């Protein structure tokens, strides 16, 4: 229930939620165990369920390919959050922020919540349009940057834009990886 509460809070009241996140001391293991492992699994599970139900482009693939595709999507999502956190942390000095890998990981993990939700819903037939909601993650990064990475609010938009470019590069790389690995 804590995952659901945090996901709702970060989407509906990001300002006050980032205040809470700023005060937390969740390390890498706790953040992944208590939040990311659950949330990042949503898109892969829904995609697998749709494929097993015989809907969509993946329905014609054999079961082992469907399972390995879902697992690869899941692993790429988990790794992508960490790589994005490294990029956000590395960009901090260029935008007057403070480098802190733990805070960067918390920012990325929670800010990407709408992307995971959109990834799950956009797989469902008739809800492909909901993938647009994942763009809200970029706004959440911009909102969270001054709090967690301690950058000036005037530079948060530029920092967020640079982070969005990193996010897009990571998504492109994982898409290329999954397309090359799976038939």
pLDDT in tens, 6-31: 999 999 999 999 999 999 987 899 99
pTM summary value: 0.89
Half-sphere exposure of 117 (CA within 13 A, CB side): 19
Q: What's the confidence (pLDDT) of residue 173?
A: 93
Q: What is the pLDDT of residue 60?
A: 65
Rounded to whole angstroms, the Cα distance separating 64 from 78 reads 21
Q: pLDDT tens digits, residue range 135-171?
A: 899 999 999 999 999 999 999 999 999 999 999 999 9
CB 123 within 8 A of CB 43: yes
> Looking at the predicted structure, is the pLDDT value of residue 123 above 90?
no
73 contacts: CB under 8 Å, gap ≥ 6? 43, 44, 47, 178
**In this predicted model, what pLDDT tens digit does every residue of 102-120 receive, in sequence order?**
999 999 999 999 999 888 8
Greater confidence (116 vs 181) lies with 116
pLDDT digits (tens, 9 = 90+) for 60-105: 667 787 788 889 989 999 999 999 999 999 999 999 999 999 999 9
Q: Among residues 28, 11, 175, 39, which one has the least CA distance to residue 116?
A: 39
Whether residue 58 is predicted with pLDDT greater than 60 in this model: the reply is no
Distance separating alpha carbons of residues 98 and 47, to the nearest angstrom: 38
Torsion from C-alpha of 29, 67, 70, 74, nearest 10 degrees: 10
């Amino acid at each position: 229930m804590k995952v659901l509460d945090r996901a709702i809070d970060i989407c509906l009241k990001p300002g006050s939620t980032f205040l809470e996140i700023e005060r937390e001391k969740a390390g890498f293991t706790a953040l992944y165990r208590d939040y990311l492992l659950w949330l990042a699994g949503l898109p892969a599970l829904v995609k697998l369920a749709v494929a097993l139900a015989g809907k969509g482009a993946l329905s014609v693939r054999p079961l082992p390919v469907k399972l390995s595709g879902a697992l690869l999507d899941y692993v790429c999502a988990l790794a992508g959050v960490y790589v994005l956190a490294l990029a956000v942390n590395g960009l901090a000095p260029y935008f007057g922020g403070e480098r802190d890998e733990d805070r960067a990981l918390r920012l990325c993990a929670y800010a990407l919540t709408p992307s995971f939700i959109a990834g799950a819903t956009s797989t469902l037939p008739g809800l492909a349009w909901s993938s647009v909601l994942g763009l809200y993650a970029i706004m959440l990064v911009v909102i969270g940057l001054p709090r967690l990475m301690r950058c000036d609010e005037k530079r948060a938009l530029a920092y967020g834009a640079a982070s969005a470019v990193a996010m897009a590069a990571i998504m492109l790389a994982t898409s290329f990886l999954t397309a090359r690995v799976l038939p």
